[in-house]
């Protein structure tokens, strides 16, 4: 006999259906008689989830008691979740955490091209995402900055521009972007740990604007670049090179499976490894959609590129073993050997002759101003919003 309790809807004893969202958030058991009672009381019950997301994360920190970490990084306390203004158009999961439309289309393996009439709107979204990441990058290079400092500044910029920070409440993710430091492969939750000289900091930004998500990320050196050890430089620059080599082959008729072949071949020449747990993906009216874009060789990704397809390439490259494990917060993925990992990502659109990098950097000297020049071109405090 499984667990039972008092129904949170009608008050009857013996209810055996638990709320899956409460379970995922680590809340105390909330029982219902069945689906009908659950649906009838959902509007009232989901307010409990909102209240819990506003609470401090004492329960989250307790989950790390006696946890065996794979590397030196440790989680730190977090402030309460920030919410987006209600007048900003938001994706379907903004209130309850469930991306209903994305779940409905999960079995779709081939992407739908974006209507050319909507390309300019998509470019608008990509430009805001790019500007957001540039703010994050400048902050991330300053020792003493925290992940929450980055999250706060970017949240303010995103909503000020009438956009919604896509990660916010996506499957109950508690922040507006991901900040992944050193051995964190991806999905790091911004917290109050100060960045240290010699850290590498990956910031992953996605914004939702006028019906489109735009997604990108970059990895930054924190502090004096001359003091970064050679292996870390090999990792970060190598990851960027793998990423750009993959973008170069993209054009109509190329199989999505070829992207992984290019990335892993180049990674091996640098004695680096490719994480297999996380993939690139289609992006647009949904945060994650077809196609699936693996980054390793010999993958079985479905489909070929066609004009109007929009997807991400976002390889996670490792100094040591590519395997990962997830922290008790259910989000933070770290390397099992505790060695560093880096990542870069763009949203790209297939054109008649190749691809357009929607989330490219715009600078003085080139329309595709490269990440590697950014360290030299911009002072570390340039463009940082004043508190």
Q: What is the DSSP string of 197-225?
A: TT-EEEEEEEEEETTEEEEEEEEEE-S-G
Q: Is 22 within a domain?
A: no
Instruction: Report d(CA 12, CA 152) in Å as an integer.
Output: 44
CB 200 within 8 Å of CB 236:
yes
Q: Is 77 within a domain?
A: no
Query: Per-residue pLDDT averaged across 334-351, rounded?
Result: 97
Phi, psi dihedral angles at 98 (to 5 degrees): -105, 115
Q: What is the pTM of this model?
A: 0.82
Domain with 132 in it: what CATH number? 3.90.230.10
CB 219 within 8 Å of CB 344:
yes
Q: Is 38 within a domain?
A: no
Q: Is 51 within a domain?
A: no
Q: In which domain, by residue range, is 232 found?
A: 100-377
Q: Is 358 within a domain?
A: yes
Q: Is 193 within a domain?
A: yes
- pLDDT tens, residue by residue, 147-206: 999 999 999 999 999 999 999 999 999 999 999 999 999 999 999 999 999 999 999 999
- pLDDT tens, residue by residue, 99-152: 999 999 988 889 999 999 999 999 999 999 999 999 999 999 999 999 999 999
Q: Is 124 within a domain?
A: yes
Query: Per-residue pLDDT averaged across 249-273, rounded?
Result: 97
Q: Is the pLDDT of residue 288 over 90?
A: yes
Query: Per-residue pLDDT averaged across 5-12, rounded?
Result: 76
- Give me the number of domains the chain comprises: 1
The CB density around residue 97, as the number of other CB atoms within 10 Å, is 19
E-strand spans in the chain?
17-18, 31-32, 164-165, 178-181, 184-186, 200-209, 212-221, 273-274, 280-282, 289-293, 310-313, 316-318, 324-326, 333-335, 341-343, 346-350, 355-357
Which range scores top for mean pLDDT: 14-28, 55-69, 76-90, 242-256? 242-256
Q: Smallest Cα–Cα separation from 308: which of 102, 109, 112, 108?
A: 112
């Amino acid at each position: 006999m499984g667990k039972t309790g008092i129904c949170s809807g009608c008050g009857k004893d013996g209810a055996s259906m638990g709320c899956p969202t409460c379970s995922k958030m680590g809340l105390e058991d909330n029982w219902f008689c069945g689906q009908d009672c659950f649906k009838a009381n959902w509007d009232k019950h989901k307010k409990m989830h909102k209240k819990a997301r506003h609470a401090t994360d004492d329960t989250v920190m307790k989950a790390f008691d006696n946890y065996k970490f794979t590397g030196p990084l440790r989680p730190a306390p977090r402030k309460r979740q920030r919410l987006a203004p209600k007048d900003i158009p938001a994706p379907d999961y903004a209130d309850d955490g469930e991306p209903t439309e994305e779940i409905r289309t999960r079995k779709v393996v081939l992407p739908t091209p974006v209507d050319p009439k909507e390309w300019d709107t998509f470019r608008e979204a990509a430009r805001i995402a790019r500007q957001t990441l540039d703010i994050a990058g400048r902050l991330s290079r300053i020792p003493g900055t925290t992940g929450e400092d980055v999250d706060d500044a970017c949240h303010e910029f995103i909503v000020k521009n009438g956009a919604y920070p896509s990660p916010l409440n996506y499957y109950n993710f508690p922040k507006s972007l991901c900040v992944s430091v050193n051995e964190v492969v991806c999905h790091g939750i911004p917290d109050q740990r100060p960045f240290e000289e010699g850290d590498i900091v990956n910031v992953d930004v996605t914004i939702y604007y006028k019906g489109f998500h735009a997604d990108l990320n970059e990895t930054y050196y924190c502090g004096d670049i001359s003091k970064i050890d050679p292996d870390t430089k090999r990792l970060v620059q190598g990851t960027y090179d793998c990423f750009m080599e993959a973008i170069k082959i993209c054009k109509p008729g190329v199989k999505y499976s070829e992207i992984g072949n290019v990335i892993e071949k180049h990674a091996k020449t640098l004695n680096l490894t490719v994480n297999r747990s996380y993939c690139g993906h289609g992006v647009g009216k949904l945060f994650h959609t077809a196609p699936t874009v693996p980054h390793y060789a010999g993958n079985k990704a479905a489909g070929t590129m066609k004009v109007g397809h929009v997807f991400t390439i976002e390889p996670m490259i490792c100094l040591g073993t590519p395997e990962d494990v997830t922290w008790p917060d259910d989000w933070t993925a770290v390397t099992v050997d505790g060695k560093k990992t880096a990542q870069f990502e763009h949203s790209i659109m297939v054109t008649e002759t190749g691809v357009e990098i929607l989330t490219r950097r715009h600078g003085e000297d080139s329309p595709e101003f490269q990440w590697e020049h950014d360290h030299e071109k911009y002072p570390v405090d340039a463009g940082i919003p004043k508190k």
